[in-house]
Amino acid sequence: MKRSRSILSPRFKKQLTVPTAAAISVSLTLTGCSPEPMQETAQVYRNVTECIQVNPGQEQLCQSVFGEAQALAEETAPRFNSLADCELEFGAEQCTGGGDFATDLAGDAGTLVDGEQYADNSGGGGWFMPMMYGYMLGNMLSGSRNKYRTAPVYSSKNARSPLNGKLVTGAGDVVGRSGDRVVRTSPNNFTPKKATNVTQRGGFGKMAQVKSAQAAKARSSSRKSSSRGWGG
């Protein structure tokens, strides 16, 4: 499957309702010599029905976008070596079976937090992945306003998981909270990443926590630099 392509036509862009058009427009904030990290505003849909409700008359295109997100989820969702490990992070009945975990790990232990390598302790067998919560739909930062892209997002229903109530990408980037209909996220989160093989219990949640803390620190540092005013 071609991973980077236009999935919506100019006609879809033209007929978007005003709230949605605003929600998925590119938004950049530059202050002085220290710009905040580039971010893009995206709409979050749970399913085809929600997309159609916001974009009436675009049933076929909404189905195409949803299908694109599902296909990406199959390729990029985090992979766990057991159903129990997956449900520990995402909640009971929130995971589904996948392929051969041992084969996927061959020659690649998978990199999670800060370059730390988690060794294979699966003992073979199939792998499991979380079910897709929904998908983000955002405007491509390519200079063209007629192209859009999508990315699957996930959320946990386990109250003890650090992912509970959050929207997270397959790469472990927290982009919002479950229930959010509009989020601001890095455009990099629309670039498909290689599926993360999670071979340590709680490893994916740990990665998401670290990434979220690092992102918050970067935003705070940017705001402090910007408050010094123009210069540099």
Give the tens place of pLDDT for each residue, 32-61.
344 456 788 899 999 999 999 988 888 888
pTM strictly above 0.85: no
Determine which helix (DSSP H) or strand (DSSP E) holds 105, and give its type and residue range: helix 101-105
Q: What does the DSSP 8-state code read for residue 197?
A: E
Summarize pLDDT for 159-173 with one digit per residue, the tens: 999 999 999 999 999
CA separation for the pair 12, 50 (Å, rounded): 15
Distances (CA, A) of 7 to 12, 17, 32, 67, 81: 10, 18, 36, 10, 33
pLDDT in tens, 199-215: 888 899 899 989 888 87
For the chain, give every domain's residue range. 10-23+35-223
Average pLDDT, the chain: 74
Report residue 100's pLDDT band, with 50, 70 and 90 as the boundaries.
low
Helix (DSSP H) and strand (DSSP E) numbers for the chain: 7, 10
Query: What DSSP element (H or E) covers 135?
Result: strand 134-139
